[in-house]
Structure 1
Amino acid sequence: MQKIWATLLLLAAVVAGVLVYRQLQQPAEFANVLVYPAPRELKSFSLTSHTGQPAGREQLNGHWTLAFVGYTFCPDICPMTMAMLSGSYAELAKVLPQGQSLQLWFVSVDPKRDTVAQLNNYVGYFEQPAIIGLTANHDQLFPFVRELGLMYAISTTTDEDYRVDHSASVVLINPKGQLVAMFKPELSADQNSVPVVTKAQLLRDFPEVVQQVTP
């Protein structure tokens, strides 16, 4: 009888070990992060940086990039998200594989008001050299933003103080210029809260996401 119990316990231990192994082999699941099953190639695009320099796919190569779309006249989501990214930068950069760097892209989808000079002033406000402000005409912006899995919509009002609807998510692009993940705002029971990706959320999930999508 003792031999039977010993055998059963051994089998249970083996089964438990197999289950643990399988769990470790499965990709981590995140409540507010979309990790793409395979990296998504981005088509060619042509933007202009806040320093007036052209920017395309080649500016993504060799860097991890966290990208966010918005506009400088945004009253809440944009300044809150950019301040969060700027304040989180040092901690985020530390978790990257050795020798790899991180850049932060702020893609303005309001080219009418966000001139190069306006973008330059806005980027300078956050005092983070890793931030690159970018914009273009809508014929370049719309397909690029759509490829990132994000969106924006310009109001048709003639009011000069118009609002721009846009995504609040932050996307992650790998050093090959491929889209690999999207960090989404956490849902809140407070209907008055602004839906943004928080620092706590990003610092919690970013290291595991990078580990998961790094070959």
Structure 2
Amino acid sequence: MVAKFFYGVVAVLALLAGIIGFHHWQQQHEPEHTLMYPQARTLADFRLQGHTGSAVTREQLYGQWTLAFVGYTYCPDICPLTLAQLAGVHEDLQQHVKEPLGIWFVSVDPNRDTPEQLANYVHYFDQAAVLGVTAGHDQLFPFVRQLGLMYAMSSTTEEHYLVDHSASIVLINPQGQLVAMFKPELAAGRVPTVRTEDLLADFPWVIRQLKRG
């Protein structure tokens, strides 16, 4: 009886040590490709145009979580890969938050990306949570900059031009505040996109950190 009691105590202590160690690891763990801001950054007012033709303002961010990234519909690699990825994992990520989770595709090529062009592009990915938005550069540039992202237009007069832009994805909370950024993996010979496995692991980690305050 004494031996059984002794082994039982040892087993319980081992289990407790494992639980404590796991929670300690969670607290110490910092995702390699995710930046979480020490303080949420409130976004200034903006006015964009959605792919349905209606105005999109800061109020559309309230009451939902939003994953946003910049690009353009003529992008040959980063944009379609990122949008397909977000559309594919949306259901998995939604499980970690009680509010709706939206996806904003911010086109920084308003000359070619009309609402009709954006609508056709967004509908191709068959994900109702995706909203395509754009605006003139006077609205776009300050909006993109406050997201911590960037883009640069080419000075070429050719019809088929490319646009340099960030490949990161930002997370905005239901109060319209920027709280985190998911960064792409930079590897030789690979398109710089946020890895799906990083997003699936780091998104719930960010939400847990935010809940802890």
TM-score by length of 1: 0.86
1:194 maps to amino acid: V
Deviations 1:156-214 (A, max 9, x none): 001110000000000000000000000001232xx211010121111011111111123
Aligned to 1:46: 47
Aligned to 1:198: 195
Aligned to 2:207: 210
Aligned to 1:158: 157
Aligned to 1:91: 92
1:109 maps to amino acid: V
Number of positions where the alignment pairs a residue of Structure 1 with one of Structure 2: 194
Structure 1 distance, partners of 2:62, 2:149, is 21
1:44 CA drift (Å): 0.2
Aligned to 2:9: none
Aligned-partner SS, 2:180: strand
Structure 2 distance, partners of 1:128, 1:22, is 35
Aligned to 2:79: 78
The 1:27–1:108 alpha-carbon spacing in structure 2 relative to 1, beyond 3 Å, is: farther
Preserved CA contact (<8 Å) 1:27 1:212: no
Preserved CA contact (<8 Å) 1:71 1:78: yes
Aligned to 1:132: 131
2:190 is the counterpart of 1:177: no
Preserved CA contact (<8 Å) 1:48 1:54: yes
Structure 2 distance, partners of 1:153, 1:213, is 33
Structure 1 distance, partners of 2:23, 2:29, is 12
Structure 2 distance, partners of 1:208, 1:127, is 27
| Stretches of structure 2 lacking an aligned partner (at least 5 in a row) | 1-16
The 1:28–1:179 alpha-carbon spacing in structure 2 relative to 1, beyond 3 Å, is: farther
Structure 2 distance, partners of 1:54, 1:27, is 42
Structure 2 distance, partners of 1:123, 1:21, is 41
1:196 maps to amino acid: T
Structure 1 distance, partners of 2:193, 2:22, is 35
1:22 CA drift (Å): 9.8
Structure 2 distance, partners of 1:104, 1:167, is 16
1:192 maps to amino acid: G
Q: How high is the sequence identity, in percent, across the aligned residues?
A: 59
Structure 1 distance, partners of 2:196, 2:23, is 31
Aligned-partner SS, 1:206: helix
Structure 1 runs of 4+ aligned residues shifted over 4 Å read 19-28
| Stretches of structure 1 lacking an aligned partner (at least 5 in a row) | 1-15
Deviations 1:79-101 (A, max 9, x none): 000000000000010111x3x11
Aligned to 1:11: none
TM-score by length of 2: 0.87
Aligned-partner SS, 2:128: coil
| CA RMSD in angstroms, aligned pairs only | 1.9
Aligned to 1:6: none
2:34 maps to amino acid: V
Aligned to 1:105: 104
